[in-house]
Structure 1
Amino acid sequence: MHFITCSRLNSQGANPSNLPLVVIDTWGQAINDDPKINAWLKVIDNGPGKMNDQFQQGTDYDGNIGIEIRGQSSQMFPKKCYTLELRTIAGTDTAASLLGMPAEEDWVLYAPYSDKTMLRNALTFHLARRMGGWQPRNRFCEVYLNGDYVGVYQLMESIKRDSNRIDISKLSPDEISGDDLTGGYIVKADKIDNYGSDEFFQITPSVHYKNSDNYRFTYVYPKHNEIAAAQKSYIKKFLTDTENSINGSSFTDPATGFRKYLDVRSFVDFQIIQELVNNVDGYRFSMFFYKNKDSRGGKLHAGPLWDFDLCYGNEDYTDFNLATNIWLYSKFEDKYGGRMHWWARLMEDLSYRGVFVARWKELRKGTFHTDSIMMYLDDTIESLGEAIDRNFTRWPILGQYVWPNYFVGETYKEEEDYLKGWITERVNWIDANIMLAENVSENYSGNEILVFPNPASDQINLYFYLIYSGEIRIEMIDLLGRKVFQEEILPENQGYQYLS
């Protein structure tokens, strides 16, 4: 089946692009928040070094879709974000590989608007993917809607269960006992629009932590209208038990504390990203968690990540989210929708803190090295090329305040320089203060020493708390009682110490 449409072209409509093109035709229909409407999609990508033209046939896809507006606060902007569902002419889902990403039917068109560099979201996902584990893949593109050029977008994978996305076990409605019942699940902590809806649930732990909230989660997988009652009960109890283990007096116990429930590495990596970018929604909104079946690990994973336009200093309504010199995890709040206290509590455990410190130092040698970050930004800006000018001709907002900008640059270069300067200040501050990361506990006894890796052959790391300042002696004894190392050191001050 073929469709011929005649549509108005704005002033950017005839420009070929080095970026892939996404061309959508709704045949005159308005796009709603919900439900999706039927439309036609072409995805055009002739490959590196070749130009793309909106009038050519689709290379990656040329067919039917369902489309709707997505987002919450972003819906106020004229440049809209969209959810796409690839469909057959009959209306059933169909999978396709788009712009080199694995085949799937569900996709997102993310519209950078208040972030005038258009880089914050892409940079965060780039860093997170290099840290390991699945994070949504994305590609920059330019979008035409009903013949109207609507700017630079990112075509992104949506968050869902899939062998190429969150690779957890499928959970059927009849799996309501034994290992079958234990996974997989995906939930999200987020804003709740309708408190009477069965789309979300609240956990109420029996053990409370100071100033903490009762947190609310929405069902992502299985969906709220597909999940069985026994499955609802299971995941709610699992998350409640998880929080009780975090809040409890024995939370550091390897058998009964948080390690019984949490995939620690994922929580550390999640925290490092939130701290790096100082995300205004960090630890409170757009927070995904997933759990596989017990036979496949069964622990709670933090992530994948989502929504990073209001970070790296791009907001004006809180002092600490703008700052480069604070620890965000310590700012949990005693109110609905407040930041989760879980990471503040985890940082009271010396071994967790040790992993956090060691992971940051490891990342700063490569993925988070300032030169590496700046190279990614420079390369991405170069690849966007003339599309930047086309975007801001279509949306002439440079030099204008767009909620919730703190900095308003007159030019794209000024926006770029502000972002780079903020990042440089942030990583330098974390480097200087990583050993002083706030411990919100008032009861730390200071009698733990973390040694890792253990056992080790040629190099080890020590992490410990020094109650008093002054010279200390470090001795290492092997299993035969022989002294294999001794050194006297004079730390600059008391507190947490890291030696490698």
Structure 2
Amino acid sequence: MKSKWVYVGAVLLSLLAVLGIAKFIEPENVRVQQHLSYNTEVEDTNLSIEPSSFSSHLPVVSIETEGQTIPGRPETGQKVSQVKNTFIRAEMKIIENQGELNTLKDTPQVESDIQIRVRGNSSRRFDKAGYLFKFIDEDGMDEGYEVMGMEKDSTWVLHGPFLDKTLMRNYMWYNLSGQIMEWAPDVRFCEVFLNGGYQGVYVMEEQISVGEGRIEVTEYDGKSNMSSYIVCVDRESVNDVDYLDNFTEYTRRMTSKVEVKYPGARKLTPEITDHISRDFSKFEKSLYSYDYKSKRYGYGDFIDIDNFVDYYIINEVTQNTDAGIYSTYFYKDITGKLKMSVWDFNNCCDNYMEYQQSMAGFFMQNRTWFFMLSKDEKFTEKVIDRYRQLRKGILSDDNVKTYMAEVQEYLGGAIDRNFQVWGYTFEAQNDLLQGEGRQIGSYEEAVEQYEKRLVSRMGWLDKHIDALYSYSHESVNKKFND
């Protein structure tokens, strides 16, 4: 049996600390990574996707809707549906036998009613849907469950890799981000059946929410007009949403809106919304003031700078171009500083559907909040120093190449099963990536393209990272510093 738990690393660091050596080693957050903790004696050679004969080394999720259509697909004549608050009631079973293959005949570890809908933005029109669901009790109230070794909660995301033919972008970058940052959503691979039909490989993901093992902040007591909060910057919805009247909403004329995700709608009063608007705007005003770099009045009093630096690097490395515009999350403890969380790497590393990205250049310095942060030479210096540190460890060429190879090996037969259903996307006429030379003909080619792009991108950054200083040079920032 081979168990490659990252806990071993934590124990080793503890021993080295006693010897006074640990200070020379890059710290990493302890994080269970599914592909490093499996039993290799369990052989997954059965490629059948028929319910009666199916088996897998991955956890299995079975969803039954009793003939109902899961809502959330684009409506007739619409490119993307923005309606996100309609759910149906369904039943879910999760089967995960420790150290054995999983079949639909096995006793489920989790069996519960759920509320479920299709999730995403542009991905809502993909043939392979992604889902948001909540475990509920008989009365329809939220009920938390531990899922695949992840912390107990009621709300989860089932991400269905479709545009990402490697199947691993979200899994990989949530895990690597979780090693780099204080927190990132936990993830597990699984295979999904819907009403008895095989749907392929999915990634079970923690939603960005407040709770033990998720974002741990002081929870709202239901009495005060002040609260810890989570906000999301995203496309405007047709739902009845009270968006924040934050400072950059007007000064930058943002194309996206800032929505409060915590506290939830049941607890969110106009007074709390006003508190969050004012609190978030304090940071923005400090950032866009002439004192933005000062110790007394500057942005440093409002944000966790190291957290923002890590967010910047991760998204710049992966060229995750939605970052800072859409699917962008901030969170803040009522007694702490503002932090950011990564989310959604489906389009990263030149997997953006509409056009091919240039491997060269920077883009994060143009994002609303980083536009001003990049004008501070101290912030820029932190980005450059941290990038070089990460390139010696978590983001080294060897580490990312090994990571991809190990994930591919771990998925094994699940890859073949997945593309029994979705293999038509390897045909040129069905490839969604637009532009010459972007069509991918096989899974192996998809992984090769992904690896080559990521390594080349970091190689370019190695040579040009010091050019970030040009954005904070006095000569180009006189009007912001006078």
State the TM bucket, normalised to the shorter chain: 0.7 to 0.9
Shift in alpha-carbon separation, 1:273–1:405, aligned structure 2, 3 A: farther
Displacement, 1:43? 0.8
Q: Distance in 1 between matches of 2:410 and 2:294?
A: 50
| Residue of structure 2 aligned with 1:46, choices 97, 113, 118 | 97
Q: CA deviation at 1:427?
A: 0.7
Q: Does 1:29 align with 2:68?
A: yes
The letter of the residue matching 2:281 is T
RMSD: 2.2
Instruction: Determine whether 1:89 maps to 2:146.
Output: no
Please report how far the alpha carbon of residue 414 of structure 1 lies from its aligned counterpart in structure 2 after TM superposition.
0.8
**CA distance, structure 2, for counterparts of residue 116 and residue 214 of structure 1:** 30
Residue-by-residue CA offset, 1:298-336 (whole Å, 9 max, x unaligned): x11122x111111101125345xx122111123x3xxxx
Q: SS state of the match for residue 343, structure 1?
A: helix
1:301 aligns with 2:339: yes
Equivalent residues of 2:247, 2:285 under 8 A apart: no
Residue matched to 1:185: 229
Question: Which of 403, 421, 431 is the equivalent residue of 2:462?
Answer: 431
Structure 1 residue aligned with 2:333: 292
Which of 339, 342, 349 aligns to 1:312? It is 349
Distance 1:137 1:291 in 2: 19
What's the counterpart of residue 201 of structure 1? 244
The residue type equivalent to 2:54 in the other structure is N
The residue identity in structure 2 corresponding to 1:293 is I
> Which residue in 2 is equivalent to 1:335?
none
**Displacement, 1:225?**
5.0
Match of 1:363 among 386, 390, 394: 390
Specify which of 273, 282, 307 is matched with residue 266 of structure 1. 307
Shift in Å, 1:134: 1.5
Which structure shows the higher helix fraction?
Answer: 2
Aligned to 1:15: 54
Distance across 1 between alignment mates of 2:469 and 2:414:
43
Larger RCO: 1 or 2 (CA < 8 Å, sep 6+): 2
**8 A contact 1:38–1:64 mirrored in 2:** yes
**TM superposition shift of 1:237:** 1.2
Q: What is the CA–CA distance in structure 2 between the aligned matches of 1:362 and 1:375, rounded to whole Å?
A: 19
Q: Report the secondary structure of 1:308's partner residue.
A: coil
CA distance in 2, matches of 1:405, 1:98: 37
Q: State TM-score, norm by structure 2.
A: 0.81
Alpha-carbon distance between aligned partners in 2 of 1:371 and 1:247, rounded to the nearest angstrom: 40
Residue 346 (structure 1) aligned with residue 373 (structure 2): yes
The alpha-carbon deviation at position 214 of structure 1 amounts to: 7.9
Q: Size of the alignment, in residue pairs?
A: 413
Corresponding position of 1:55: 105
Deviations along 1:269-301, one digit per CA (max 9) or x if unpaired, are 11011101101212100000011112xx2x111
CA distance in 2, matches of 1:118, 1:374: 15
SS of match in other structure, 1:395: helix
Contact 2:49–2:417 (CA under 8 A) maintained in structure 1: no
1:381 corresponds to 2:386? no
Identity %: 28
Contact 1:22–1:43 (8 Å) recurs in 2: yes
Which structure's CA Rg is the greater one? 1
Aligned to 1:326, which of 358, 361, 368?
Answer: 361
Question: 1:352 is matched by which residue type in structure 2?
Answer: F
Is the 2:355–2:434 Cα contact (8 Å) retained in structure 1?
no
C-alpha displacement of 1:64: 1.8
Q: Verify: 1:280 aligned to 2:321, yes or no.
A: yes
Matched residues in 2 for 1:293 and 1:307: separation? 26
1:6-42 C-alpha deviation (Å, 9 max, x unpaired): xxxx954322111110011112222112422222211
Question: 1:174 matched to which residue of 2?
Answer: 223
CA distance in 1 between partners of 2:60 and 2:249 (Å): 53
Kept in 1, the 8 Å contact 2:355–2:433? The answer is no
The residue aligned with 1:398 is 426
Letter in 1 for 2:128: K
* Counterpart residue identity of residue 363, structure 2: L
Q: How far apart, in 1, do the equivalents of 2:255 and 2:292 lie?
A: 18
TM-aligned CA deviation for residue 402 of structure 1:
3.5
2:389 partner letter: E
- Tell me the residue number matched to 2:474: 443
Cα separation, 2, equivalents of 1:23 and 1:318: 36
2:446 is the counterpart of 1:415: yes
Q: What is the letter of the counterpart of residue 39 of structure 1? A: A
Instruction: Tell me the distance in 2 between the aligned counterparts of 1:126 and 1:301.
Output: 18
Task: Identify unmatched segments of 5+ residues in structure 1.
Answer: 1-9, 333-339, 447-500
Alignment partner of 1:440: what SS?
A: helix
The Cα shift of 1:373 comes to 0.7
Using the alignment, how far apart are the partners of 2:412 and 2:249 within structure 1? 55
Residues 251-283 of structure 1: per-residue CA shift (max 9 Å, x gap): 110120010111101110110111011012121
TM-aligned CA deviation for residue 442 of structure 1: 6.1
Counterpart CA distance in 2 for 1:170 and 1:310 is 33
Q: TM-score, normalised by structure 1?
A: 0.78
8 Å CA contact 2:375, 2:473 repeated in 1: no
| Contact 1:198/1:224, CA 8 A, preserved across alignment | no
Question: Given the alignment of the two structures, is residue 233 of structure 1 paired with residue 274 of structure 2, yes or no?
Answer: yes
1:247 to 271, 274, 288: 288
Deviation at 1:98, TM superposition (A): 0.9
Where does structure 2 lack aligned partners over 5 or more consecutive residues? Answer: 1-47, 73-84, 478-482
Please state which structure has a larger fraction of its residues in strand.
1
Instruction: Tell me if the contact between 1:67 and 1:82 (Cα under 8 Å) persists in the aligned partners.
Output: yes
In structure 1, give the amino acid aligned to 2:138. Answer: I
